């Protein structure tokens, strides 16, 4: 069963009042993103074969911002944070951890226990508690003041940029138990060593590690990095270039460029799997 939640379309009157507060935050005039709620039930996601999307941990209700999407084929064995944006490109292998407010490119590899895009808290407000800007949190308003739910929702405060998007480029490898601060940008081809804490942007094709993470070395020389950046090989399906010897990077780039120039390969442009698509499949 699936519920499409476009702010006011909710399954209970109380939830409706709370989420109407998402449409515009107090004093800012800024419209916040609509949400979609999907109910995976106890059996989980069974649409892998028809969509190319693996979501083995999906259980119960999951609410994400409606601009979220998955580009098939891709495998996501991570927990997805509620009420966030999650955008994941094709050919990714995500083996665990928690993701939220994140855009991930193609061919990324993420090890278990990685934390990406955790929401921060306002430190200059009266309180750092989320209840100050998420009155629907834990259904406390419903429990303590059900008659005031509309009033509480109407006074929902905008937390500002504490939920900043984190952006991972293409062909990024993140080792086990890495923490990536919200709002960081990880460049194409970067490698993050296990147990690192990433607090600032990571250059393309760099290897970083430590607490806080620092550049340890570059993966390739500047000329090769320039060629990789210009070619953007991840535009193509792995099965169109799989027979190339990737171990010799110079000749691999030459061969990919030759196939592009001779029109032997075309860019891979699959239809994105939106939350509406998932919701529709869950209804069946």
Contact assessment for residue 24 and residue 265, using Cβ atoms and an 8 Å cutoff: no
Distances (CA, A) of 133 to 34, 38, 147, 180: 16, 23, 19, 23
| CATH superfamily label, 2-220+270-283 | Hexapeptide repeat proteins (2.160.10.10)
Sign of CA dihedral 143, 41, 88, 252: positive
**What is the tens place of the pLDDT at every residue in 109-154?**
999 999 998 777 888 888 888 788 777 778 888 898 899 988 887 7
* Backbone Cα Rg of the chain: 21
Sequence ranges of the domains in the chain: 2-220+270-283, 224-261
Q: What letter does residue 237 receive in the DSSP assignment?
A: -
**What is the tens place of the pLDDT at every residue in 45-96?**
988 889 999 999 999 999 999 999 999 999 999 999 988 999 999 999 999 9
Respond yes or no: is residue 121 known to be catalytic: yes
**What is the tens place of the pLDDT at every residue in 7-29?**
332 323 223 333 333 434 444 44
pLDDT at 169 over 60: yes
Q: Which of 19, 121, 138, 263 is catalytic?
A: 121
Sign of CA dihedral 107, 68, 81, 40: negative
Contact assessment for residue 94 and residue 110, using Cβ atoms and an 8 Å cutoff: yes
Q: In DSSP terms, which residues pair with 109 in a beta bridge? A: 93, 173
- Beta strands 206-209 and 214-218 are antiparallel
Structure tokens at 101: 């407010």
Structure tokens at 30: 């800024």
Of 237 and 119, the structure prediction assigns the larger pLDDT to: 237
């Amino acid at each position: 069963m699936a519920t499409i939640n476009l702010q006011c379309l909710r399954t209970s009157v109380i939830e409706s009042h709370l989420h109407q507060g998402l449409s515009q935050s107090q004093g800012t005039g800024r419209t916040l993103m609509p949400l979609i709620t999907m109910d995976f039930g106890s059996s989980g996601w069974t649409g892998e074969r028809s969509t190319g999307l693996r979501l083995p941990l999906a259980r119960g209700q999951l609410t994400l911002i409606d601009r979220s999407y998955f580009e098939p084929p891709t495998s996501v064995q991570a927990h997805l944070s509620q009420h966030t944006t999650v955008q994941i490109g094709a050919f990714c292998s995500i083996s665990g951890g928690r993701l939220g407010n994140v855009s991930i490119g193609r061919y990324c590899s993420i090890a278990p226990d990685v934390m990406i895009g955790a929401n921060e808290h306002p430190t200059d407000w009266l309180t750092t508690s989320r209840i100050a800007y998420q009155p629907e949190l834990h259904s406390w308003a419903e429990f303590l003041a059900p008659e005031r739910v509309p009033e509480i929702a109407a006074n929902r405060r905008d937390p500002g940029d504490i939920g900043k998007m984190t952006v991972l480029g293409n062909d990024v490898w993140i080792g086990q138990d890495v923490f990536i601060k919200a709002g960081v940008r990880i460049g194409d081809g970067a490698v993050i060593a296990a147990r690192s804490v990433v607090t600032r942007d990571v250059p393309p094709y760099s290897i970083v590690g430590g607490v806080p993470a620092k550049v340890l070395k570059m993966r390739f020389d500047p000329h090769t990095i320039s060629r990789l950046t210009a070619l953007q090989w991840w535009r193509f399906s792995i099965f169109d270039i799989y027979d190339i010897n990737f171990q010799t990077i110079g000749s691999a780039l030459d061969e990919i460029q030759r196939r592009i120039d001779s029109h032997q390969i075309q860019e891979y442009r699959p239809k994105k799997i939106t939350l509406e698509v998932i919701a529709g499949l869950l209804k069946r």
